[in-house]
C-alpha cells in the first residue's frame, strides 16, 4: 500500500469512529434520562472500572492496555459530561 492509500483507510476509520462516538453518546444520553428519572448519580465508578477492565482484556494491540484505558477514560468522561448537561438542562 502507498502512504496515500493508508491515509485514505485511516480517514475511513476516523469517520467510522466519529459515527460510533456519536452513537455511543446518544445512548449515554438515554441512560442519563433513565438515571434522572430514578434519581441515580451520573458517576458510577464501578461501571467505569468494568468498562476499563473489559477493554483491557479484549485488547490485542498494538496499543498497550494503559493506552486503551486512557482512550476509554476520555470517552467515558465525555459521556458523563453529556449526561450531566442533560440532567441539569432539563430541570
Measured CA to CA, the distance from residue 84 to residue 9 in angstroms comes to 35
CB 65 within 8 A of CB 56: yes
Q: Which residues contact 72 (CB under 8 A, 6 or more apart)?
A: 51, 52, 55
CATH code of the domain covering residue 78: 1.20.59.10
For the residues 44-64, what does the mean pLDDT come to?
A: 97
Q: Could you give the percent of the chain with pLDDT greater than 90?
A: 80
Print the domain residue range for 14. Answer: 3-89
For the residues 10-25, what does the mean pLDDT come to?
A: 97
CA distances from 78 to 3, 5, 7, 37, 71 (A): 32, 32, 27, 21, 11
pTM of the model: 0.85
For the residues 24-31, what does the mean pLDDT come to?
A: 93
Residue reference for cell 455511543: 24
How many domains does the chain fold into?
1
Amino acid at each position: 500500500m502507498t502512504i496515500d492509500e493508508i491515509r485514505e483507510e485511516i480517514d475511513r476509520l476516523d469517520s467510522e469512529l466519529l459515527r460510533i462516538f456519536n452513537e455511543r453518546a446518544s445512548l449515554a444520553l438515554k441512560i442519563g434520562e433513565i438515571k434522572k428519572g430514578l434519581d441515580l448519580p451520573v458517576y458510577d465508578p464501578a461501571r467505569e472500572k468494568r468498562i476499563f477492565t473489559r477493554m483491557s482484556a479484549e485488547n490485542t494491540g498494538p496499543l498497550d492496555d494503559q493506552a486503551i484505558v486512557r482512550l476509554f477514560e476520555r470517552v467515558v468522561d465525555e459521556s458523563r459530561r453529556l449526561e450531566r448537561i442533560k440532567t441539569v438542562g432539563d430541570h
